[in-house]
Amino acid sequence: MPPPFRRLLQDGGQRTVVVTPLDQCLAVFSPAEWTKIESQLAAMPAFHPKVKALTRLVASRAVDCELDSQGRILIPLGLRRSASLDREVTVVGVLNRFEIWPAEAWQGFLKDSERILDDISTDLPWPAPAGNPPQQGSSDQAHPQAKPSR
C-alpha cells in the first residue's frame, strides 16, 4: 500500500479498506471515502433504471479488506481474478483512491492514454472555472495524495 495512504488510515485508526473492481484494475478506498461514494449513489434517483444498475453493480462488488500487521491488503482471490492480478502489479495513486493494476494492463493504458491526451486537454476547461471550487470533504485529514505545503 502506498505510504501516504497507509499513514492516512493509521492516523484514523483504520485497519480495513474497501476494494472494488474498476475498469481493468482494483480501486482501493479508505472507509471514509467509500462512505462518500455511497452517499453520492444514495443521492441519485433511486428508481431510475440506470441508477439501480449502477448502485447494484458498485455495491455488490465492493469488499471490505483487512490490512495485515505490515500494512498489506489481504485481497480475496475472486477480486484478484476479476482484475487479472498476478505477481507483477502497478500501484497508482488517483486522487481519493489508489488503484492496483496488472503491470501489462497499466502499460497498455498508458500507451492508449498518451495518444488521446491532446484531444482530452483541449475538450476540458482547465483550470476549473473560478465560480465552482472543488467540494471539500468534512474530514480534517489531509488527502492521501496531497502535495506538502511549503
Secondary structure letter of residue 126 according to DSSP: S
Assign residue 49 the CATH number of its domain. 3.40.1550.20
Identify which of 81, 93, 85 has the alpha carbon closest to the alpha carbon of residue 33: 93
pLDDT tens digits, one per residue of 39-58 = 988 888 888 889 889 888 88
Q: Distances in Å between the alpha carbon of 16 and those of 21, 23, 43, 142?
A: 17, 22, 25, 18
Please report whether residue 83 resides in a domain. yes
**Structural domain boundaries, residue 47:** 3-103
Helix axes 49-61 and 31-42, enclosed angle (nearest 10): 160
Most confident of 3-7, 71-75, 128-132: 71-75
Q: What is this structure's pTM?
A: 0.69
Please report whether residue 132 resides in a domain. no
Please report whether residue 148 resides in a domain. no
Please report whether residue 7 resides in a domain. yes
Domain total of the chain: 1
Please say whether the beta carbons of 16 and 66 come within 8 A.
yes
pLDDT band (50, 70, 90) for residue 98: confident
DSSP 51-85: HHHHHHHHHHH-EEEEB-TTS-B---HHHHHHTT-
Alpha helices in 20-147 (DSSP H): 31-42, 49-61, 77-82, 103-123
Mean pLDDT, rounded, for 67-77: 83
Q: Which helix (H) or strand (E) holds 11?
A: helix 3-11
